Structure 1
Amino acid sequence: METGFTKWIIVITVVMCCLLELIDTSIVNVALTQMMGNLSATQQEVSWVVASYGIANVIVIPMTGFLAEQFGRRNYYLVSVILFTLASIACGQSTNIWELVAFRFVQGIGGGALMATSQAILIDTFPPKQLPLGQALFGMGVIIGPTIGPTLGGFIVDNYDWPWIFYVNVPVGIMASIFTIAFIRDPERIKNAIPRPLREIDWAGIFLLILGVGSLQYVLEQGESNDWFEDNLILFFTALAVIGMVGFVWRELTAEQPIVDLRVLGKSRNLAVGAVLSFVLGFGMFASVFIFPIFTQRILGFSAAQTGLILLPGALASGFMMPVIGKMLQAGVPQKYMIPVGFFIFFVFTFWMAKIISPTAGEDNFFWPLMVRGLGMGLIFLPITTMSLAGLQGKEAGQAAGLTGMIRQLGGSFGVAIVGTVLERSIYQNRVGMLPNISLYNSETVQRVQAFTANFMSKGFSAEQAQQQAYAALEGILMKQVSIITYGQIFSMLGFFFLACLPLVMLIKRARRGEAIDLNAAH
């Protein structure tokens, strides 16, 4: 255990790296349009800038325990920081879209390690009694990172050029590399670990993991833009995902030295429940951050930077709540009671958002609902993490941490994919449902068209042009109303999804007094 100055330097280093990794999952979203213009890319091609990073992330995260054991955790972490930093420079220097996609994949490989390994290093830094505080500091990065991304990205795109969304990583990466060399040390178990010979490595497990999880992530990232199962490529990768995932589960349950030990799920009921709850957490956290910017920018006309600033106070509130929740856990407040409160608070947030969404909503309308969201996320993340890992020892704890991290990431991918699909299809269905109300056989509709036509004619348009403008204005009003209804339905759907998952909390086993989380060798 580290103490004093060294302890807090390590804390700053790993939380900073964790933030970098999570910010980069969302920072590029606001720059895609500029990338399309500068790199002569289509919408379909530029979507790979996001997809390649996510695919690399979700492949690497569950393997971090094995890689840390094989090469030493400090060495693995240092190489990952350097790889992430160099890939960031290469992304900014890209001259065509496929160069950028390739370097984003490399950046995702380094970033996945930062996310998973940072948690283990951070927890090693604290004595057992302060483990909830260590988890709380890690949770600050997990909650705040995806929200800061659009804010920072919007500011950079508005004031500089898109490569700077990657160059901002460089000074932080250099500083983190220096601090890693100077201050981070491996725990004794990893120092004394003997690397597996190459012939004993679970190569089949690695291949099936890449095939299954990588294909699944591709389907989730590209499904909506490719019209899901109407596209042969999506069908092909779905088949690969099923083959890979089934084969991976079978292999890891039967191999003597699996790359990811799935048998640990059978040794702890709380870990199995925590894995499901981690999926739910990722689903709600990423889906809500995904849907809100779309609404504010498409319907209310807010800029990316303006939307990010609206999201920021709630994210910061959640981050600042983490140490408080950590203290509550230290004081013995059971996770079994905190998680349902967090779920219910998240439901209140979604219900509130569904009620206040309107064409005239302003920034002030969203402040308190998003603060409520931040409180709910804080009450969900930390209790789920500590509950999942409680009672596990050494290597098992490392495997469990990597597994729950991967599942949380997949939950986010499922959330974004499902919400995106439901959004587009519900807008179409709601529009069809409202069309009878604006029929030209309806007297109110005719009066509205006549009023619009007269208004446009008074501005110098011909009668024919004025009528066309009137129909366009009516279509605009219709689509705005349809969108308002649809976004309200999406938020309500998210809230009821969380309520439906509440019974899972009944399966949580109360930790025995004095039972601690041993992450001394995690990752």
Structure 2
Amino acid sequence: MVNGIPIFKHWVPEWAIKIILFSLILPTLVLFFLPFANINAAAGFYGSEPADIQFSVALFYAGYVGFYSLERRFFRYLAAKEYFVIFTVLEILTTLACYHTNELYILFPVRFFQGMLFSSTVNLSLSLMFTRLHSERAREISFSVFFGMLICILPFSNLVTADLIDSYDFNWVYKVALFSYLPCLCSIMACMNNVRLNVRFPLYKLDWQSFVYWSLILTLLGYVTIYGQEYYWLEDTRIFYSVLAIAVSVIIYIARQKSMKRPYLDLEIFRFRNFRFAIFLIFVLYICRFAMNVTNSFFASVLRLDPMHISYINSFNLAGLIVGVIISCAMILQKKSIRWIWFPGFLLLLGFHMVMFFLFNTEANEDNFYLPLLVQGLGVGIILVPTIIYAISSVSVAAGPSATSICSTMGYIGFCASAAVINFCELYEKSRHYNAFQDHLTKVDNAARQVLLLHSGNLLSKGLPLKQSGRGASKLLVNAVNKQVQIRFAMDYYELMSVMLIVTLLLIVFFPYLNRTVIYLRSRRLSPA
């Protein structure tokens, strides 16, 4: 209820309201990381490179993070039901545009706009949810449920869409998402009263300039980190001018925020030491989270698993995420020390990376990876929600929305940094290892000659002519080298992640101010998106 007026009609049961609120978020959550469900199928459909598909996800993420603060003005101006109908219709139109296009110059701006609409979806759904919750316990459980859904959506999306993408064109998933919006729209129009969650705030003096600068910074950051290694960083004029534009925009943005009475983002929150440490951990966590892309690449290129089997294996990671969120929620409610949440969480992530370092091989059974993937999900699930609540609790209630926005921004920066490090290791380290193998694999090398003779003999026994068997043997040797290069790249990356996690654990142990903040949500009006 808002000011004594029920948000939903009296005949709607409580369980139905909860289903409606979560169904508002789910279709857009699936669209978030949808291109990652089968990145090769998406690249083939759009006639692009995998980097372009990564960038389409970054644009969605940038639209979500960039529009968050400006969206609150529209949220206060429109009634809840009216607002929902508007952005749901827009989401249907953008999904229809994605279904009918295979051109990147159309897809990219549409994906950014979908990210903006995702921000609206999250704010409305969670505000409706939070206004119904009167106890601290209920608010923290709902907070955990939302962010649990957010971190689970990548393996969940892969699981539910892998079969569909394998059977139809990639854009069929957009068609399914298109129809999934209709039940939500009909339910809200039938069940919801036309009430306001806030006093109507006129749409004058919209700070759209800050939104433009902030979105430009985020978009260019994604462009630089995703395409930088491919274009040799600052040697390419596109990357050089993008970095220059980021630097100029940051300077203008900071100067503008400091001069404004009501800034787009309250930069004073960076004065809180606990907040700075919390967002650093969020940054580290998101880098570790997207290290799963390396594991999935290993499954596909070395073990030759198809996307459906990869999604089935990742269901163990999904189970770990769910269990981890439940455990962290229970620890928050029991007011456990934040050290006893962070330390075991990051220790589980370190264990996952160290175990996977030794599991990377040219041949392996699928069941060898079940437990490590479960442990990785468990670690991420334990860490994420308490860290975000800790960051918000470190600042004043009035600065809570800015703190939440920065937490989302650090998640985006972690995503971009992960893409940059993976691309660097994949393009640079793989070429380095490939050249090292080439130095030894010559026709006078005894090991290489034995392998070529073995492959050639196998091909001859299967009926190939002598000349073709020699070519086939050389091709099989090159494929074996490529597998070894992929394994070495994955091992190098996970070794780097292990070092980063060891440093993080040492910081957690020796950081002297961790227990000065009690982690709980103090505001019922907080929208945690």
1:257 aligns with 2:262: yes
Q: Distance in 2 between matches of 1:298 and 1:14?
A: 40
Query: CA RMSD for the aligned pairs?
Result: 3.1
Q: Is the 8 A contact 2:328 2:341 kept in 1?
A: no
Does residue 176 of structure 2 align to residue 157 of structure 1? no
Specify the alignment match of 2:362 in structure 1.
Answer: 359
The counterpart of 2:403, out of the listed 380, 400, 404, is 400
Q: 2:276 aligns with which of 246, 251, 272?
A: 272
Asked whether the equivalents of residues 151 and 305 of structure 1 are also in contact (C-alpha less than 8 Å), the reply is yes
Distance 1:104 1:149, change over 3 A: same
Equivalent position to 2:138, from 112, 130, 147: 130
Aligned-pair CA distance for 1:193: 5.5
Query: What secondary structure, in the 3-state scheme, does the structure 2 residue paired with 1:168 have?
Result: helix
Q: How far off its partner does 1:231 sit? A: 2.4
Check the 8 A contact 2:257/2:263 in 1, yes or no. yes
* Aligned match for 1:234, one of 224, 228, 239: 239
| Correspondence for 2:114 | 107
Q: Does 1:487 find its partner at 2:490?
A: yes
Counterpart CA distance in 1 for 2:192 and 2:66 is: 25
1:145 aligns with 2:153: yes
Identify which of 3, 12, 15 aligns with 2:19. 12
SS of residue paired to 2:515: coil
- Where do residues 123-522 of structure 1 align in structure 2 (5 Å cutoff)? 123-126=130-133, 127-180=135-188, 191-192=198-199, 194-195=201-202, 197-198=204-205, 201-266=206-271, 268-285=272-289, 287-390=290-393, 392=395, 394-505=397-508, 506=511, 508-510=513-515, 516-522=521-527
Higher helix share: 1
* Contact 1:152–1:305, Cα closer than 8 Å, also in 2: no
Identity of aligned residues (%): 17
Q: 2:73–2:203: 8 Å Cα contact kept in structure 1?
A: no
CA drift of 1:514 comes to 9.2
- Between 1:90-99 and 1:177-186, the stretch displaced more is 177-186
**TM-score normalised by L of structure 1:** 0.88
| Cα offsets for 1:384-413 (capped at 9, x unmatched) | 022111265554212221221122122112
Segment of structure 1 superposing worse, 476-485 or 343-352: 476-485
Would the alpha carbon gap of residues 440 and 508 (structure 1) be closer, same or farther in structure 2, given more than 3 Å must change? farther
* SS at structure 2 position matched to 1:510: helix
State which drifts further: 431-440 or 324-333: 431-440
1:56 to 63, 70, 76: 63
The residue that corresponds to 2:28 in the other structure is: 21
1:331-374 deviations in whole A, cap 9, x for unaligned?
Answer: 11122320121011111111111111212123211111011111
Distance 2:502 2:71 in 1: 33
Q: Secondary structure at the match of 1:88?
A: helix
**1:59-70 alignment runs, 5 A limit:** 59-70=66-77
Moved more, 327-336 or 496-505: 496-505
How far off is 1:492 after superposition? Answer: 2.5
Q: Distance in 1 between matches of 2:259 and 2:366?
A: 54
Equivalent-residue separation in structure 2 for 1:44 and 1:493 (angstroms): 22
Q: TM-score, normalised by structure 2?
A: 0.87
Aligned residues: 518
CA distance in 2, matches of 1:455, 1:490: 35
Alpha carbons of structure 1 residues 458 and 159: separation in structure 2 relative to 1, 3 Å: closer
Aligned partners of 1:416, 1:258: CA distance in 2, in Å? 31
| Amino acid across the alignment from 2:364 | A
- Asked if the contact 1:69/1:193 (under 8 Å) is kept, the reply is yes
Give the whole-Å Cα distance in 2 for the aligned partners of 1:100 and 1:219.
Answer: 19
Query: In structure 1, the residue corresponding to 2:33 is in which secondary structure?
Result: helix
Q: What secondary structure, in the 3-state scheme, does the structure 1 residue paired with 2:369 have?
A: helix
Q: Report the CA distance shift for 1:272/1:20 in structure 2 as closer, same or farther (over 3 A).
A: farther
| Secondary structure at the counterpart of residue 333 of structure 1 | coil
Partner amino acid for 1:455? Answer: N
CA contact (8 A) 1:282 1:408 kept: yes
Q: Deviations over 1:173-219 (max 9, x none)?
A: 2333345556678998x522533523xx3343223212222211222
